[in-house]
Amino acid sequence: MRQTKTQANKKPAAASKPQVKPTAQAKQPDFKAIKAKAEELTAKHGTTVHPLVFIEPLSKEQVVGYVKEPTRQVKMYAMDKMHASPSTAGVTIFESGLIKEESDPRLYTESPDNDKYYLGAIREVVNLVTVAINQLKK
């Protein structure tokens, strides 16, 4: 096929730049699903299971763990430790109640990168020990 002078000098159309999709942000934790999983584990284990949810600051990934309600004996031991050594009390509660097979390994795998989750968890589980306060004052 013969080209005319106009067609020969015509530059091919530049390919349009590919559309760059904005980086999808990590989805927000599905708290309903996490709570439903905790309820399922509660039925399975025969004791209340408490979910722990942490968000990885950079990637926005969720780190989810499930901890069983501590036994009375564990609560008493933790209460004895809470004032002098709250971290030790938290470790006792966390390690006695963590359901590893249902929890993110970053919660219990020893690594400097994972310490923030472990320390956050032991701080949080101390709140599982509650006491009633006598309301009758003499």
Asked which of 20-34, 69-83, 86-100, 119-133 is least confident by mean pLDDT, the reply is 20-34
What is the reported pLDDT for 17? 44
The radius of gyration computed from the CA coordinates of the chain, to the nearest angstrom, equals 27
> Of residues 30 and 122, which shows the higher confidence score?
122
Separation CA 90–CA 82 (nearest Å): 8
Q: Are 55 and 61 in contact (CB under 8 A)?
A: yes
> Of residues 103 and 13, which shows the higher confidence score?
103
Separation CA 86–CA 73 (nearest Å): 17
Q: What is the pTM of this model?
A: 0.76
What is the reported pLDDT for 138? 76
pLDDT averaged over the chain?
Answer: 86
Q: How confident is the model at residue 110 (pLDDT cuts 50, 70, 90)?
A: very high
Q: If you average pLDDT over each of 3-17, 24-38, 109-123, which comes out highest?
A: 109-123
Residue with tokens 């989750």: 117
**Residue 6 clears pLDDT 60, i.e. is over it:** no
Helix (H, G, I), strand (E, B), or coil: what is residue 107?
Answer: helix
Reported as a single tens digit per residue, the pLDDT across 38-57 is 999 999 999 999 999 999 88
Helix (H, G, I), strand (E, B), or coil: what is residue 114?
Answer: coil
